[in-house]
């Protein structure tokens, strides 16, 4: 009934050493020339374009639905702010005048 717990040794759990080739040093690579600002700007726009291609764009009906929701919420909160402004203006006029 008693179970013996066995402790694993470091040799059993260690992974075999992987033999990777050393990374080439700067002298092994071709010399890096002046890339120029236009190449950097072009790389930025290339990366941005690749990110835009990955976006899942909504269809036309979803776009109109979200646009309508934004307009309605904006009108709702504008009404709340207008109502509070009118109420406080009335109260301040009654108290101060």
pLDDT tens digit string along 16-61? 666 777 676 666 555 555 667 888 899 999 999 999 999 999 999 9
Q: How confident is the model at residue 96 (pLDDT cuts 50, 70, 90)?
A: confident
Instruction: Kindly state the average pLDDT of the residues 57-70.
Output: 96
Does 36 fall in a domain? no
- What total number of domains does the chain contain? 1
**3-state DSSP assignment of residue 68:** helix
Does 82 fall in a domain? yes
Choose the most confident range, by mean pLDDT, from 4-18, 25-39, 63-77.
63-77
Residues 73 and 65: their CA atoms lie apart, in Å, by 12
Residues 52 and 47: their CA atoms lie apart, in Å, by 9
The pLDDT of residue 39 = 87
Domain assignment of residue 96, given as a range:
61-97
**Tokens encoding 60:** 């036309």
DSSP state of 32: P
The pLDDT of residue 32 = 57
**Tokens encoding 73:** 């919420």
Does 76 fall in a domain? yes
The pLDDT of residue 38 = 85
Output the average pLDDT for the chain. 84
Q: Is the pLDDT of residue 77 over 90?
A: yes
Does 87 fall in a domain? yes
Does 95 fall in a domain? yes
């Amino acid at each position: 009934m008693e179970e013996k717990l066995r402790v694993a040794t470091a040799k059993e759990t260690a992974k075999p050493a992987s033999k990777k080739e050393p990374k080439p040093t700067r002298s092994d690579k071709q010399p890096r020339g002046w890339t120029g600002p236009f190449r950097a700007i072009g790389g930025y726009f290339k990366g941005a374009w690749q990110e835009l291609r990955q976006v899942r764009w909504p269809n036309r009906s979803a776009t109109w639905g979200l646009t309508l929701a934004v307009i309605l919420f904006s009108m709702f909160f504008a009404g709340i702010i207008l109502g509070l402004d009118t109420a406080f203006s009335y109260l301040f006029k009654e108290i101060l005048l």
